[in-house]
Amino acid sequence: MDSGIAAVTIDPDVDRQRDHWRTTFARRRDFLGAAASEPAVAALARFESAGVRGVLELGSGQGRDTLYFASAGLAVTALDYADEGLEQLLGAAEGAGLADRVLPVSADVRLPLPFASQSFDACYAHMLFCMALSTPDLERLAGEVRRVLRPGGLLVYTVRTTEDAHFGVGTDHGDSMWEAGGFIVHFFDRALIDRLATGFEVLDIAEYTEGKLPRRLVGITMRKADRSGRRP
């Protein structure tokens, strides 16, 4: 691609969920809103107090939170498999004079993350872990995030929960995944949160609502064990 987006191998088995996100972003600018999300505002406060400078954002979408982090001075690597969102994000970053702080990367989180070990201070993912990712996919992804975080690095991720009004509605894909409106969502319970915390210390679990439904979310903040291997 000749659009300034870093060229990274994408899962060749492109699935219909990816197509659905690409079409949705192409048709609807600011599909999830233009302003930074509430979890991003909380995450930035946490990042600033921890001295975070470089953040990996997974599932950055059209970039509402990416731009918020970049405008606060963070260097953001924004990863998504929907190139339409990344192109819109890059255009908005250029328009805001923030392009030097945003690196868009097209990749599928079901594959190993295309980054060196211990290369980020923090990872942020708003509603990415609750996409069409099976429990084994999620365990692999949590391990990959742990690999690319520096010792003591932070992971902040949000997910829709089994308290959400869409849990149990639409087409059942098994493994707590339900499809409504063409989107498959993996609804989280506490056991899954704990399962993904291997090698991390859970610092905080906060509740959020978002959108008209509203979506019922939790935001989990975790810290990777420090260099000595001890959990801080």
Ligand X SMILES: C[S@@+](CC[C@H](N)C(=O)[O-])C[C@H]1O[C@@H](n2cnc3c(N)ncnc32)[C@H](O)[C@@H]1O
CB closer to ligand X out of 131 and 148: 131
Residue 63's closest CA among 103, 97, 100?
103
Concatenate the DSSP letters of all residues of 122-160 into one string: EEEEESSTTSS--HHHHHHHHHHHHHHEEEEEEEEEEEE
CB closer to ligand X out of 37 and 221: 37
Residue 156 lies near ligand X (rule: CB under 6 A) = no
Residue 110 lies near ligand X (rule: CB under 6 A) = yes
Respond yes or no on whether the N-terminal peptide bond of residue 136 is cis (omega within 30° of 0). Answer: no
Figure out which of the listed residues 36, 61, 76, 120 binds ligand X, where binding follows CB under 6 A: 61
Helices (H), the chain: 16-27, 38-49, 64-71, 83-95, 135-148, 190-195
Instruction: In angstroms, give the least distance from the CB of 79 to ligand X.
Output: 6
Residue 186 lies near ligand X (rule: CB under 6 A) = no
Figure out which of the listed residues 52, 59, 142, 223 binds ligand X, where binding follows CB under 6 A: 59
**Residue list 77-106, contact with ligand X (CB under 6 A):** 80-82, 85
Figure out which of the listed residues 21, 69, 157, 200 binds ligand X, where binding follows CB under 6 A: 21
Rounded Cα gap, residues 52 and 156, in angstroms: 12
CB closer to ligand X out of 28 and 190: 28
The binding site for ligand X (CB under 6 A) comprises 21, 32, 37, 59-61, 64, 80-82, 85, 108-110, 126-128, 131
